Structure 1
Amino acid sequence: MPGQLKVDEPADGVRRLTISNPTKRNALDHPILDAIAAAVQAADADGVRALLLTGEDGMFSSGYDIGDIPADVFPQEAEKLVAHPFTGALDALDACDVPVVAALPGHTIGGGLELALGCDLRIAADDIKLGMPPAKLGLVYSHTGLRRFIDAVGVARTRELFLLGSYIDAPRAEAWGLVNRVVPAGDLPAAGLEWAEQLAAGAPLSVRGNKQVIRALLAAEGDVAADVAAELIDLRKACFVSDDFREGVSAFAEKRRPQWQGR
Protein backbone atom coordinates (compact mmCIF):
# COMPACT_ATOMS: atom_id res chain seq x y z
CA MET A 1 0.00 0.00 0.00
CA PRO A 2 1.35 3.45 -0.88
CA GLY A 3 1.58 6.11 1.75
CA GLN A 4 -0.42 9.29 1.78
CA LEU A 5 -0.13 12.92 2.79
CA LYS A 6 -2.95 14.04 5.06
CA VAL A 7 -3.87 17.70 4.75
CA ASP A 8 -5.90 19.78 7.18
CA GLU A 9 -6.10 23.35 8.47
CA PRO A 10 -5.87 23.29 12.28
CA ALA A 11 -5.72 27.06 12.70
CA ASP A 12 -6.46 30.22 10.77
CA GLY A 13 -3.97 30.57 7.91
CA VAL A 14 -2.16 27.32 8.81
CA ARG A 15 -2.15 24.25 6.58
CA ARG A 16 -0.82 21.04 8.14
CA LEU A 17 0.76 18.32 5.98
CA THR A 18 1.07 14.96 7.76
CA ILE A 19 3.19 12.15 6.34
CA SER A 20 1.32 8.85 6.77
CA ASN A 21 2.96 5.57 5.81
CA PRO A 22 2.71 3.67 9.11
CA THR A 23 3.72 0.20 7.92
CA LYS A 24 7.02 1.64 6.62
CA ARG A 25 7.85 4.13 9.38
CA ASN A 26 6.59 6.98 7.21
CA ALA A 27 9.01 6.21 4.38
CA LEU A 28 8.82 8.67 1.50
CA ASP A 29 7.33 7.13 -1.64
CA HIS A 30 6.20 8.64 -4.94
CA PRO A 31 2.63 9.51 -3.82
CA ILE A 32 3.81 11.21 -0.63
CA LEU A 33 6.57 13.18 -2.32
CA ASP A 34 4.37 14.24 -5.23
CA ALA A 35 1.68 15.31 -2.76
CA ILE A 36 4.16 17.36 -0.71
CA ALA A 37 5.35 19.17 -3.84
CA ALA A 38 1.78 19.87 -4.97
CA ALA A 39 0.64 21.04 -1.53
CA VAL A 40 3.59 23.37 -1.09
CA GLN A 41 3.17 24.82 -4.57
CA ALA A 42 -0.54 25.42 -3.96
CA ALA A 43 -0.09 27.13 -0.59
CA ASP A 44 0.66 30.60 -1.89
CA ALA A 45 -2.21 30.65 -4.38
CA ASP A 46 -4.59 29.36 -1.71
CA GLY A 47 -3.80 32.19 0.67
CA VAL A 48 -2.09 29.95 3.23
CA ARG A 49 0.19 31.96 5.54
CA ALA A 50 2.15 29.09 7.13
CA LEU A 51 2.74 25.39 6.51
CA LEU A 52 3.28 22.77 9.20
CA LEU A 53 4.96 19.54 8.04
CA THR A 54 4.87 16.58 10.43
CA GLY A 55 4.56 12.81 10.62
CA GLU A 56 1.99 10.36 11.94
CA ASP A 57 2.25 7.63 14.57
CA GLY A 58 5.26 8.96 16.45
CA MET A 59 7.58 9.09 13.44
CA PHE A 60 8.59 11.88 11.09
CA SER A 61 10.15 9.80 8.30
CA SER A 62 12.62 6.97 7.87
CA GLY A 63 13.71 8.31 4.47
CA TYR A 64 13.34 6.96 0.95
CA ASP A 65 10.98 4.03 0.39
CA ILE A 66 13.43 1.77 -1.46
CA GLY A 67 13.26 -1.43 0.59
CA ASP A 68 10.64 -3.23 -1.50
CA ILE A 69 11.88 -2.39 -5.00
CA PRO A 70 12.33 -5.63 -7.03
CA ALA A 71 15.94 -6.63 -7.64
CA ASP A 72 15.69 -6.59 -11.43
CA VAL A 73 14.70 -2.90 -11.55
CA PHE A 74 16.30 -1.76 -8.31
CA PRO A 75 19.01 0.56 -9.70
CA GLN A 76 16.65 2.40 -12.04
CA GLU A 77 13.73 2.69 -9.63
CA ALA A 78 15.85 3.66 -6.62
CA GLU A 79 17.58 6.41 -8.58
CA LYS A 80 14.27 7.54 -10.06
CA LEU A 81 12.67 7.93 -6.61
CA VAL A 82 15.60 9.81 -5.13
CA ALA A 83 16.36 11.99 -8.13
CA HIS A 84 12.88 13.02 -9.21
CA PRO A 85 9.93 13.15 -6.79
CA PHE A 86 12.26 13.74 -3.84
CA THR A 87 14.04 16.54 -5.66
CA GLY A 88 10.66 17.90 -6.71
CA ALA A 89 9.49 18.11 -3.11
CA LEU A 90 12.71 19.82 -2.02
CA ASP A 91 12.60 22.24 -4.95
CA ALA A 92 9.03 23.16 -4.01
CA LEU A 93 10.09 23.87 -0.42
CA ASP A 94 13.07 25.91 -1.60
CA ALA A 95 10.92 28.03 -3.92
CA CYS A 96 8.00 28.47 -1.53
CA ASP A 97 7.50 31.98 -0.15
CA VAL A 98 5.15 30.70 2.56
CA PRO A 99 7.10 29.92 5.76
CA VAL A 100 7.29 26.22 6.69
CA VAL A 101 7.88 24.67 10.10
CA ALA A 102 8.68 20.97 10.52
CA ALA A 103 7.48 19.29 13.71
CA LEU A 104 9.45 16.09 14.29
CA PRO A 105 7.52 13.71 16.57
CA GLY A 106 9.85 10.77 16.09
CA HIS A 107 12.98 9.51 14.37
CA THR A 108 13.99 11.59 11.36
CA ILE A 109 16.36 9.68 9.13
CA GLY A 110 18.03 10.01 5.73
CA GLY A 111 15.83 11.69 3.17
CA GLY A 112 13.40 12.48 5.98
CA LEU A 113 16.07 14.59 7.64
CA GLU A 114 16.88 16.44 4.44
CA LEU A 115 13.18 17.07 3.90
CA ALA A 116 12.99 18.58 7.40
CA LEU A 117 16.09 20.63 6.67
CA GLY A 118 14.32 22.02 3.62
CA CYS A 119 11.82 23.69 5.98
CA ASP A 120 12.47 27.10 7.52
CA LEU A 121 12.17 26.00 11.16
CA ARG A 122 12.37 22.64 12.93
CA ILE A 123 11.02 21.68 16.34
CA ALA A 124 11.74 18.21 17.70
CA ALA A 125 10.48 15.92 20.44
CA ASP A 126 13.17 15.38 23.06
CA ASP A 127 13.31 11.58 22.69
CA ILE A 128 13.96 11.26 18.96
CA LYS A 129 17.03 10.33 16.91
CA LEU A 130 18.24 12.01 13.74
CA GLY A 131 20.75 10.65 11.29
CA MET A 132 22.04 10.16 7.76
CA PRO A 133 22.79 6.49 6.90
CA PRO A 134 24.34 6.65 3.38
CA ALA A 135 27.61 5.14 4.66
CA LYS A 136 25.63 2.15 5.90
CA LEU A 137 23.69 1.78 2.65
CA GLY A 138 26.40 2.23 0.04
CA LEU A 139 24.81 5.46 -1.19
CA VAL A 140 26.64 8.49 -2.55
CA TYR A 141 24.50 11.44 -1.52
CA SER A 142 23.68 14.31 -3.87
CA HIS A 143 26.05 17.27 -3.86
CA THR A 144 23.03 19.58 -3.52
CA GLY A 145 21.89 17.65 -0.45
CA LEU A 146 25.34 17.77 1.12
CA ARG A 147 25.49 21.51 0.44
CA ARG A 148 22.21 21.89 2.35
CA PHE A 149 23.74 20.20 5.40
CA ILE A 150 27.00 22.17 5.14
CA ASP A 151 25.01 25.42 5.04
CA ALA A 152 23.03 24.33 8.11
CA VAL A 153 25.60 22.74 10.42
CA GLY A 154 29.04 23.26 8.85
CA VAL A 155 31.60 20.97 7.27
CA ALA A 156 32.80 19.13 10.38
CA ARG A 157 29.33 18.12 11.52
CA THR A 158 28.26 17.20 7.99
CA ARG A 159 31.26 14.88 7.81
CA GLU A 160 30.29 13.34 11.12
CA LEU A 161 26.72 12.73 9.97
CA PHE A 162 27.58 11.30 6.57
CA LEU A 163 30.90 9.52 7.09
CA LEU A 164 30.14 7.89 10.44
CA GLY A 165 26.46 7.34 9.70
CA SER A 166 25.66 7.38 13.42
CA TYR A 167 22.50 8.86 14.91
CA ILE A 168 22.40 11.88 17.19
CA ASP A 169 19.79 12.72 19.80
CA ALA A 170 17.55 15.77 19.77
CA PRO A 171 19.50 17.86 22.33
CA ARG A 172 22.68 17.40 20.32
CA ALA A 173 20.83 18.26 17.11
CA GLU A 174 19.66 21.47 18.78
CA ALA A 175 23.21 22.32 19.86
CA TRP A 176 24.36 21.82 16.28
CA GLY A 177 21.60 23.99 14.84
CA LEU A 178 20.07 21.03 13.02
CA VAL A 179 16.81 21.77 14.87
CA ASN A 180 15.75 25.07 16.39
CA ARG A 181 13.98 23.84 19.50
CA VAL A 182 13.46 20.65 21.52
CA VAL A 183 10.35 20.05 23.63
CA PRO A 184 8.95 17.11 25.63
CA ALA A 185 7.37 14.58 23.26
CA GLY A 186 3.88 15.16 24.62
CA ASP A 187 4.17 18.90 23.98
CA LEU A 188 5.29 18.64 20.37
CA PRO A 189 1.93 18.82 18.53
CA ALA A 190 0.92 21.95 20.40
CA ALA A 191 4.39 23.52 20.12
CA GLY A 192 4.57 22.90 16.37
CA LEU A 193 1.14 24.41 15.86
CA GLU A 194 2.03 27.38 18.06
CA TRP A 195 5.03 28.19 15.86
CA ALA A 196 2.94 27.80 12.70
CA GLU A 197 0.33 30.18 14.14
CA GLN A 198 3.05 32.70 15.00
CA LEU A 199 4.34 32.50 11.43
CA ALA A 200 0.82 32.93 10.08
CA ALA A 201 0.26 35.96 12.34
CA GLY A 202 3.38 37.76 11.14
CA ALA A 203 3.30 40.53 8.53
CA PRO A 204 3.17 38.58 5.24
CA LEU A 205 5.37 40.99 3.29
CA SER A 206 7.98 40.92 6.03
CA VAL A 207 7.97 37.14 6.60
CA ARG A 208 8.04 36.29 2.92
CA GLY A 209 10.45 39.09 2.07
CA ASN A 210 12.96 38.05 4.71
CA LYS A 211 12.65 34.44 3.57
CA GLN A 212 13.46 35.54 0.02
CA VAL A 213 16.50 37.52 1.19
CA ILE A 214 17.84 34.55 3.18
CA ARG A 215 17.34 32.31 0.14
CA ALA A 216 19.22 34.77 -2.09
CA LEU A 217 22.10 35.07 0.37
CA LEU A 218 22.51 31.29 0.54
CA ALA A 219 22.41 31.01 -3.24
CA ALA A 220 25.07 33.73 -3.57
CA GLU A 221 27.69 31.25 -2.34
CA GLY A 222 27.70 30.02 -5.94
CA ASP A 223 27.02 26.74 -7.72
CA VAL A 224 29.72 24.27 -8.65
CA ALA A 225 30.92 24.43 -12.24
CA ALA A 226 28.75 22.56 -14.74
CA ASP A 227 31.42 19.98 -15.57
CA VAL A 228 32.07 19.29 -11.88
CA ALA A 229 28.35 18.98 -11.21
CA ALA A 230 28.08 16.48 -14.07
CA GLU A 231 30.90 14.40 -12.57
CA LEU A 232 29.25 14.42 -9.15
CA ILE A 233 25.91 13.38 -10.63
CA ASP A 234 27.59 10.52 -12.54
CA LEU A 235 29.32 9.40 -9.33
CA ARG A 236 25.99 9.29 -7.56
CA LYS A 237 24.26 7.45 -10.39
CA ALA A 238 27.01 4.82 -10.36
CA CYS A 239 26.21 3.97 -6.76
CA PHE A 240 22.65 3.00 -7.68
CA VAL A 241 23.89 0.17 -9.93
CA SER A 242 26.54 -0.99 -7.47
CA ASP A 243 26.43 -4.29 -5.62
CA ASP A 244 27.23 -2.43 -2.41
CA PHE A 245 24.14 -0.22 -2.55
CA ARG A 246 21.85 -3.19 -3.05
CA GLU A 247 23.63 -5.05 -0.24
CA GLY A 248 23.41 -2.01 2.05
CA VAL A 249 19.67 -1.65 1.57
CA SER A 250 19.10 -5.39 2.03
CA ALA A 251 21.23 -5.51 5.16
CA PHE A 252 19.46 -2.48 6.61
CA ALA A 253 16.04 -4.07 6.01
CA GLU A 254 17.21 -7.42 7.44
CA LYS A 255 18.93 -5.75 10.44
CA ARG A 256 22.29 -7.43 9.79
CA ARG A 257 25.84 -6.31 9.15
CA PRO A 258 26.43 -5.63 5.43
CA GLN A 259 29.04 -7.57 3.49
CA TRP A 260 30.72 -4.88 1.38
CA GLN A 261 32.46 -5.79 -1.86
CA GLY A 262 33.65 -2.39 -3.00
CA ARG A 263 31.84 -2.60 -6.31
Structure 2
Amino acid sequence: MSITHSKKSTTSPELTVDGNIATLRLCNPDYANRLSPADLKVIQSHIQTVNQNTDILVLRVLAEGKYFCSGYDISSLAADSAPSSIFFGETVDLLEQARPVTIAAINGGVYGGGTDLSLACDFRLGSTAANMFMPAAKLGLHFYPGGMVRYVTRLGLNQAKRLFLTAEKIDAAEMKEIGFLTELVEPEELNGRVEELTKLLASMAPLALLGIKKHLNLIARGQLDEVGIKQAVLHSEQSEDIKEGAAAWKEKRSAVFKGS
Protein backbone atom coordinates (compact mmCIF):
# COMPACT_ATOMS: atom_id res chain seq x y z
CA MET A 1 0.00 0.00 0.00
CA SER A 2 1.53 3.31 -1.06
CA ILE A 3 1.29 6.39 1.14
CA THR A 4 2.09 8.87 -1.60
CA HIS A 5 -0.74 11.24 -2.32
CA SER A 6 -1.62 13.85 -4.92
CA LYS A 7 -2.77 17.24 -3.71
CA LYS A 8 -6.53 17.61 -3.34
CA SER A 9 -8.68 20.71 -3.72
CA THR A 10 -10.04 20.36 -0.18
CA THR A 11 -8.05 21.15 2.96
CA SER A 12 -10.26 19.02 5.19
CA PRO A 13 -8.62 15.94 6.79
CA GLU A 14 -9.18 12.86 4.65
CA LEU A 15 -9.70 9.22 5.57
CA THR A 16 -8.92 6.28 3.32
CA VAL A 17 -9.30 2.59 4.14
CA ASP A 18 -7.49 -0.27 2.45
CA GLY A 19 -8.37 -3.62 4.02
CA ASN A 20 -7.20 -3.59 7.63
CA ILE A 21 -5.26 -0.31 7.26
CA ALA A 22 -6.73 3.17 7.58
CA THR A 23 -4.96 6.44 6.79
CA LEU A 24 -5.95 9.83 8.18
CA ARG A 25 -4.28 12.60 6.17
CA LEU A 26 -3.92 16.26 7.14
CA CYS A 27 -4.40 18.30 3.96
CA ASN A 28 -3.76 21.96 4.73
CA PRO A 29 -0.03 22.39 3.99
CA ASP A 30 -0.32 26.09 3.13
CA TYR A 31 -1.20 26.74 6.78
CA ALA A 32 1.13 24.16 8.36
CA ASN A 33 -1.78 21.71 8.70
CA ARG A 34 -3.41 23.70 11.48
CA LEU A 35 -6.78 22.34 12.56
CA SER A 36 -9.94 24.44 12.66
CA PRO A 37 -13.06 23.51 14.66
CA ALA A 38 -14.56 22.16 11.42
CA ASP A 39 -11.45 20.02 10.84
CA LEU A 40 -11.70 18.63 14.35
CA LYS A 41 -15.31 17.60 13.77
CA VAL A 42 -14.22 15.81 10.60
CA ILE A 43 -11.44 14.00 12.48
CA GLN A 44 -13.90 12.93 15.17
CA SER A 45 -16.17 11.52 12.46
CA HIS A 46 -13.24 9.71 10.83
CA ILE A 47 -12.21 8.13 14.14
CA GLN A 48 -15.77 6.98 14.70
CA THR A 49 -15.78 5.42 11.23
CA VAL A 50 -12.51 3.62 11.97
CA ASN A 51 -13.71 2.36 15.36
CA GLN A 52 -16.85 0.94 13.80
CA ASN A 53 -14.89 -1.02 11.19
CA THR A 54 -13.65 -4.02 13.15
CA ASP A 55 -11.41 -5.11 10.25
CA ILE A 56 -9.11 -2.12 10.75
CA LEU A 57 -6.01 -2.91 12.82
CA VAL A 58 -3.77 0.07 12.02
CA LEU A 59 -4.54 3.77 11.69
CA ARG A 60 -1.79 6.01 10.29
CA VAL A 61 -1.79 9.81 10.61
CA LEU A 62 0.06 11.46 7.72
CA ALA A 63 0.45 15.05 6.60
CA GLU A 64 0.98 16.89 3.32
CA GLY A 65 3.71 19.48 2.89
CA LYS A 66 6.72 20.24 5.08
CA TYR A 67 4.84 20.45 8.39
CA PHE A 68 3.09 17.69 10.29
CA CYS A 69 0.65 19.80 12.31
CA SER A 70 0.72 23.23 13.93
CA GLY A 71 -2.17 22.48 16.26
CA TYR A 72 -5.36 24.41 16.83
CA ASP A 73 -6.17 27.33 14.57
CA ILE A 74 -6.04 29.84 17.42
CA SER A 75 -7.55 32.54 15.22
CA SER A 76 -10.77 30.58 15.74
CA LEU A 77 -10.75 31.59 19.40
CA ALA A 78 -11.51 35.16 18.33
CA ALA A 79 -14.96 34.06 17.13
CA ASP A 80 -17.69 33.97 19.75
CA SER A 81 -19.14 30.83 18.18
CA ALA A 82 -15.86 28.87 18.18
CA PRO A 83 -15.38 26.06 20.67
CA SER A 84 -12.70 26.27 23.34
CA SER A 85 -9.32 24.67 22.74
CA ILE A 86 -10.71 22.02 25.10
CA PHE A 87 -12.53 20.74 22.02
CA PHE A 88 -9.15 20.14 20.40
CA GLY A 89 -8.12 18.14 23.45
CA GLU A 90 -11.29 16.08 23.37
CA THR A 91 -10.59 15.22 19.73
CA VAL A 92 -7.04 14.12 20.56
CA ASP A 93 -8.40 12.03 23.44
CA LEU A 94 -10.51 10.16 20.90
CA LEU A 95 -7.41 9.47 18.83
CA GLU A 96 -5.56 8.09 21.86
CA GLN A 97 -8.56 5.88 22.64
CA ALA A 98 -9.03 4.71 19.04
CA ARG A 99 -9.41 0.96 18.74
CA PRO A 100 -6.62 0.34 16.16
CA VAL A 101 -2.91 0.75 16.77
CA THR A 102 -1.92 4.24 15.61
CA ILE A 103 1.17 5.57 13.84
CA ALA A 104 2.07 9.24 13.37
CA ALA A 105 4.44 9.93 10.45
CA ILE A 106 6.05 13.19 11.54
CA ASN A 107 7.54 14.57 8.35
CA GLY A 108 8.43 18.06 9.59
CA GLY A 109 7.55 20.76 12.09
CA VAL A 110 5.01 19.92 14.78
CA TYR A 111 3.79 22.63 17.10
CA GLY A 112 1.32 23.30 19.89
CA GLY A 113 -1.61 20.91 19.86
CA GLY A 114 0.04 19.10 16.97
CA THR A 115 2.62 17.79 19.43
CA ASP A 116 -0.20 16.35 21.51
CA LEU A 117 -1.81 14.83 18.42
CA SER A 118 1.50 13.05 17.88
CA LEU A 119 1.81 11.90 21.49
CA ALA A 120 -1.68 10.39 21.30
CA CYS A 121 -0.40 7.90 18.71
CA ASP A 122 1.12 4.58 19.72
CA PHE A 123 4.11 4.99 17.41
CA ARG A 124 5.69 8.27 16.34
CA LEU A 125 8.04 7.87 13.39
CA GLY A 126 9.94 11.06 12.67
CA SER A 127 12.04 12.50 9.89
CA THR A 128 15.30 14.26 10.69
CA ALA A 129 13.57 17.35 9.26
CA ALA A 130 11.18 17.39 12.24
CA ASN A 131 11.23 19.93 15.05
CA MET A 132 8.76 20.87 17.76
CA PHE A 133 7.77 23.40 20.36
CA MET A 134 4.87 24.03 22.71
CA PRO A 135 4.00 27.77 22.71
CA ALA A 136 0.98 27.70 25.06
CA ALA A 137 2.56 29.71 27.88
CA LYS A 138 4.08 32.20 25.42
CA LEU A 139 0.63 32.73 23.88
CA GLY A 140 -1.12 33.00 27.25
CA LEU A 141 -3.18 29.86 26.72
CA HIS A 142 -3.54 27.24 29.46
CA PHE A 143 -3.34 23.74 28.03
CA TYR A 144 -6.19 21.25 28.28
CA PRO A 145 -6.09 18.23 30.67
CA GLY A 146 -5.62 15.29 28.30
CA GLY A 147 -2.61 16.85 26.65
CA MET A 148 -0.93 17.58 29.97
CA VAL A 149 -1.41 13.94 30.96
CA ARG A 150 0.07 12.74 27.66
CA TYR A 151 3.12 14.97 28.05
CA VAL A 152 3.80 13.70 31.57
CA THR A 153 3.12 10.02 30.86
CA ARG A 154 5.04 9.93 27.56
CA LEU A 155 7.92 12.28 28.31
CA GLY A 156 8.13 12.52 32.10
CA LEU A 157 7.44 15.44 34.40
CA ASN A 158 10.78 17.20 33.94
CA GLN A 159 10.55 17.29 30.14
CA ALA A 160 6.88 18.25 30.29
CA LYS A 161 7.71 21.23 32.51
CA ARG A 162 10.62 22.25 30.34
CA LEU A 163 8.67 22.14 27.08
CA PHE A 164 5.48 23.72 28.43
CA LEU A 165 6.99 26.42 30.60
CA THR A 166 9.88 27.59 28.40
CA ALA A 167 8.33 27.08 24.92
CA GLU A 168 11.79 25.89 23.85
CA LYS A 169 12.09 24.61 20.31
CA ILE A 170 13.93 21.30 19.90
CA ASP A 171 15.15 19.39 16.86
CA ALA A 172 14.47 15.85 15.70
CA ALA A 173 17.49 14.32 17.43
CA GLU A 174 16.39 15.67 20.79
CA MET A 175 12.79 14.66 20.10
CA LYS A 176 14.09 11.10 19.78
CA GLU A 177 16.32 11.43 22.86
CA ILE A 178 13.47 12.47 25.17
CA GLY A 179 11.05 9.85 23.82
CA PHE A 180 8.83 12.11 21.76
CA LEU A 181 9.80 10.09 18.68
CA THR A 182 9.87 6.32 18.85
CA GLU A 183 12.00 6.16 15.70
CA LEU A 184 14.04 8.66 13.69
CA VAL A 185 14.89 8.23 10.00
CA GLU A 186 16.07 10.33 7.08
CA PRO A 187 13.28 12.15 5.18
CA GLU A 188 13.51 9.88 2.14
CA GLU A 189 13.16 6.81 4.39
CA LEU A 190 10.06 7.88 6.31
CA ASN A 191 7.40 6.56 3.94
CA GLY A 192 9.13 3.21 3.61
CA ARG A 193 9.54 2.80 7.34
CA VAL A 194 5.88 3.66 7.92
CA GLU A 195 4.97 0.98 5.40
CA GLU A 196 7.18 -1.60 7.10
CA LEU A 197 5.77 -0.92 10.54
CA THR A 198 2.21 -0.85 9.21
CA LYS A 199 2.58 -4.29 7.61
CA LEU A 200 4.22 -5.71 10.73
CA LEU A 201 1.45 -4.49 13.03
CA ALA A 202 -1.30 -5.54 10.62
CA SER A 203 0.10 -9.08 10.62
CA MET A 204 -0.38 -9.54 14.37
CA ALA A 205 -3.22 -11.42 16.07
CA PRO A 206 -6.03 -8.84 16.39
CA LEU A 207 -7.33 -9.87 19.83
CA ALA A 208 -3.90 -9.64 21.41
CA LEU A 209 -2.73 -6.60 19.42
CA LEU A 210 -5.71 -4.38 20.16
CA GLY A 211 -6.25 -5.58 23.71
CA ILE A 212 -2.65 -5.04 24.76
CA LYS A 213 -2.61 -1.58 23.14
CA LYS A 214 -5.75 -0.59 25.03
CA HIS A 215 -4.54 -1.77 28.43
CA LEU A 216 -1.03 -0.36 28.10
CA ASN A 217 -2.55 3.08 27.52
CA LEU A 218 -4.79 2.65 30.56
CA ILE A 219 -1.85 1.55 32.71
CA ALA A 220 0.11 4.62 31.61
CA ARG A 221 -2.73 6.71 33.07
CA GLY A 222 -2.67 4.78 36.33
CA GLN A 223 -5.76 2.75 35.44
CA LEU A 224 -5.02 -0.95 35.86
CA ASP A 225 -8.08 -2.94 34.82
CA GLU A 226 -6.87 -6.25 36.22
CA VAL A 227 -10.22 -7.95 35.74
CA GLY A 228 -10.42 -6.80 32.13
CA ILE A 229 -6.89 -7.95 31.41
CA LYS A 230 -7.53 -11.39 32.90
CA GLN A 231 -10.68 -11.72 30.82
CA ALA A 232 -8.70 -10.78 27.72
CA VAL A 233 -6.05 -13.37 28.57
CA LEU A 234 -8.65 -16.12 28.92
CA HIS A 235 -10.40 -15.03 25.74
CA SER A 236 -7.13 -15.17 23.79
CA GLU A 237 -6.28 -18.59 25.22
CA GLN A 238 -9.57 -19.95 23.90
CA SER A 239 -9.36 -18.27 20.50
CA GLU A 240 -8.81 -19.74 17.07
CA ASP A 241 -5.98 -17.26 16.61
CA ILE A 242 -3.81 -18.80 19.30
CA LYS A 243 -4.22 -22.19 17.62
CA GLU A 244 -3.20 -20.64 14.32
CA GLY A 245 -0.29 -18.83 15.95
CA ALA A 246 1.01 -22.01 17.56
CA ALA A 247 0.64 -23.98 14.31
CA ALA A 248 2.40 -21.29 12.28
CA TRP A 249 5.24 -21.15 14.81
CA LYS A 250 5.67 -24.93 14.63
CA GLU A 251 5.47 -25.01 10.85
CA LYS A 252 7.81 -22.00 10.46
CA ARG A 253 5.32 -20.02 8.36
CA SER A 254 3.49 -16.74 8.65
CA ALA A 255 0.28 -16.96 10.63
CA VAL A 256 -3.06 -16.00 9.10
CA PHE A 257 -5.20 -14.58 11.87
CA LYS A 258 -8.93 -13.97 11.79
CA GLY A 259 -9.45 -12.11 15.05
CA SER A 260 -11.52 -14.87 16.61
Shorter-chain TM-score category? 0.7 to 0.9
CA distance in 2, matches of 1:75, 1:141: 19
Structure-2 residue corresponding to 1:228: none
Q: What TM-score do you get using the length of structure 2 for normalisation? A: 0.76
Find the aligned partners of 1:48 and 1:168 in 2 and give their Cα distance: 34
- Residue matched to 1:41: 48
TM-fit CA distance, 1:221: 5.8
- 2: distance between equivalents of 1:81 and 1:2? 24
Aligned partner of 1:216 in structure 2 is 218
Q: Counterpart of 1:202 in 2: which secondary structure?
A: coil
In structure 1, distance between residues paired with 2:80 and 2:143: 16
Larger Rg: 2
Deviation at 1:193, TM superposition (A): 2.4
Q: How does 1:7-46 map to 2 (within 5 A)?
A: 7-9=15-17, 12-46=19-53
Deviating beyond 4 angstroms after TM superposition, the runs of 4 or more aligned structure 1 residues are 75-78
Structure 1 residues 77, 164: CA separation in 2 closer, same or farther (over 3 Å shift)?
Answer: farther
The share of aligned pairs that are identical, in percent, is: 27
Is the aligned partner of 1:74 residue 2:78?
yes
TM-score, normalising length: structure 1: 0.76
The gaps in structure 2 that reach 5 residues or longer are 1-8, 225-260
Q: Which has the larger share of helix? A: 1
Gaps of 5+ in 1: 223-263
Aligned residues: 215
Shift of 1:7: 2.2
Residue of structure 1 aligned with 2:202, choices 197, 200, 203: 200
Instruction: Determine the C-alpha separation between the residues in 2 that align with 1:111 and 1:205.
Output: 31
| Corresponding residue number in structure 1 for 2:172 | 170
After TM superposition, give the deviation of residue 12 of structure 1 in Å.
Answer: 4.2
Q: 1:102 is matched with which residue?
A: 104
C-alpha distance in 2 between matches for 1:40 and 1:159:
30
Question: Is 1:190 aligned with 2:192?
Answer: yes
Quick check: 1:111 aligned with 2:126?
A: no
> Offset of 1:77 from its aligned partner?
5.1
How big is the alpha-carbon RMSD for the aligned residues of Structure 1 and Structure 2?
2.1
Task: Work out the CA distance in 2 between the residues paired with 1:81 and 1:60.
Answer: 22
Instruction: Specify the code of the residue in structure 2 equivalent to 1:187.
Output: E
Shift of 1:212: 1.8
